[in-house]
Amino acid sequence: MSSPGRQLKALLRAPKILIAPGIYDGYSARLIEQLGFRSASISGAGTSESRMGWADRGVMGLEENLANARRIADCSGLLLQADADTGYGNAINVYFVTRAFEKAGMAAVMFEDQVWPKRCGHMAGKSVIASDEMVQKVKAAAAARTDPDFVIKARTDAAGPLGVEEAIRRLNLYAEAGADCLYADALLSAKDIERVARSVPLPLAVNMGLGMRSRKTTPLMSPKQLEEMGVAQVSYPRLLSTAALKGMMNAMQVFMGEVVGKNNVIDRPDLLASFEELNDLMGMGRLDELEKRFASK
């Protein structure tokens, strides 16, 4: 079987757009795999929020991010795309960060050109490093991989603070430096998305910010619309994390009102996954097989 990176490259180069939902833990990874998706993007924001309890503002470091990626790889057969933020330092740090995520079982790792501490691409106040510095980071990442097909994703956040033309210029520099996939964050119009896709030489990935209607952000578009514009991959980084949080909020609202407030004994299967659904998703069948095979008799 070909390497995860080679498989991912084939999907990125295919005529059909690759849909890579954002995941952040074992629940989300197993669900996405069960639904038949081939690849998923590990959300840096989702990891920071769910694992550390802090917003995506550069609080999370390499070890927390890497440990979460390893756990997801251990329970998943997905082609995983890691988000390594800015690389946690300079180009030398990026070299070792790339090695670490490749060893962790990823198919790809993404680096962005924000100033550290970074912030979510749709937050105000972003700033970017010099393009020359990011070029060196991309070169270091490309040189670090042991599998030449391990995918290096280069992201620019320049569109917001510096304009779309600067984002395009930077992405072309990153392509020349050895990136395999490009990503322009927080483009604010369909016209800008198509303009970027037609102006770069490598597969372009974009995010759709479901659940962000209150903010001026990338317009929501269907995968087919994006495919027709020349986009190679679309991810939905906050779909599952915000849906999970909303589900917990809804369940706790009922719990506080009925159980705590009114002292009622109720069960709401419409708000909860069943015990059987949970165990099925979490690999109980495989554990049963292993028990039958290896447990003492």
Chain-centroid distance, C-alpha 72: 12
Last residue of a domain, one of 237, 254, 275: 237
The mean pLDDT of the chain is 94
Q: Are residues 60 and 146 in the same domain?
A: yes
**Closest alpha carbon to 122 in 42, 206, 5, 1:** 206
Structural domains of the chain, count: 2
Q: Is residue 216 pLDDT above 70, yes or no? A: no
Range of the domain at 260: 245-294
Q: Are residues 212 and 269 in the same domain?
A: no
User: What is the pLDDT, as a whole number, of residue 265?
Assistant: 86
Specify the DSSP class assigned to residue 259.
Answer: I
Last residue of a domain, one of 212, 237, 262: 237
Task: List Cβ neighbours of 257 (8 Å cut-off, separation of 6 or more).
Answer: none
User: What is the pLDDT, as a whole number, of residue 231?
Assistant: 98
Q: Which tens digit of pLDDT belongs to each residue from 159-208?
A: 989 999 999 999 999 999 999 999 999 898 999 999 999 999 999 999 99
**Closest alpha carbon to 42 in 153, 138, 136:** 153
pLDDT cut 90: percent of the chain above it: 88
CA distances from 109 to 49, 94, 145, 163 (A): 20, 10, 10, 25
- One DSSP character per residue, the chain reads ---HHHHHHHHHHSSSPEEEEEE-SHHHHHHHHHTT-SEEEE-HHHHIIIIIS--SSS---HHHHHHHHHHHHHT--SEEEEE-TT-SSSHHHHHHHHHHHHHTT-SEEEEE-BPSS---TTSTT--B--HHHHHHHHHHHHHH-SSTTSEEEEEE-THHHH-HHHHHHHHHHHHHHT-SEEEE----SHHHHHHHHHH-SS-EEEE--TT-TTS--SPP--HHHHHHHT--EEEETTHHHHHHHHHHHHHHHHIIIIIITT------TTTS--HHHHHHHTTHHHHHHHHHHHS--
User: What is the pLDDT, as a whole number, of residue 119?
Assistant: 74
Q: Are residues 264 and 231 in the same domain?
A: no
Q: Are residues 19 and 154 in the same domain?
A: yes
Q: Which tens digit of pLDDT belongs to each residue from 23-59?
A: 999 999 999 999 999 999 999 999 999 999 999 899 9
pLDDT, mean of residues 1-27 = 97
Q: Are residues 182 and 113 in the same domain?
A: yes
CA distances from 297 to 290, 292, 293, 294 (A): 13, 9, 10, 9
Q: Which tens digit of pLDDT belongs to each residue from 101-135?
A: 999 999 999 999 999 888 776 667 689 999 999 99
Output the CA angle 213-205-223, nearest 5 degrees. 60
Lowest mean pLDDT among 177-181, 183-187, 214-218, 252-256: 214-218
Q: Which tens digit of pLDDT belongs to each residue from 19-33?
A: 999 999 999 999 999
User: What is the pLDDT, as a whole number, of residue 117?
Assistant: 83
Q: Are residues 210 and 275 in the same domain?
A: no
Buried b (16+ CB within 10 A) or exposed e, 95-105: bebbbbbbebb
Q: Are residues 180 and 269 in the same domain?
A: no
* CATH for 216: 3.20.20.60
What is the C-alpha radius of gyration for the chain, rounded to an integer number of angstroms?
A: 20
Q: Is residue 215 pLDDT above 60, yes or no? A: no
Q: Are residues 229 and 257 in the same domain?
A: no
Q: Which residue has the higher pLDDT, 179 or 218?
A: 179
Burial environment of residue 292 by CB neighbours within 10 A (0 to 12, 13 to 18, 19 or more) = exposed
Q: Are residues 231 and 252 in the same domain?
A: no
Q: Are residues 212 and 249 in the same domain?
A: no
Q: Are residues 110 and 172 in the same domain?
A: yes
User: What is the pLDDT, as a whole number, of residue 123?
Assistant: 66
Q: Are residues 82 and 212 in the same domain?
A: yes
Pairing outcome for strands 204-207 and 79-83: unpaired
User: What is the pLDDT, as a whole number, of residue 212?
Assistant: 60
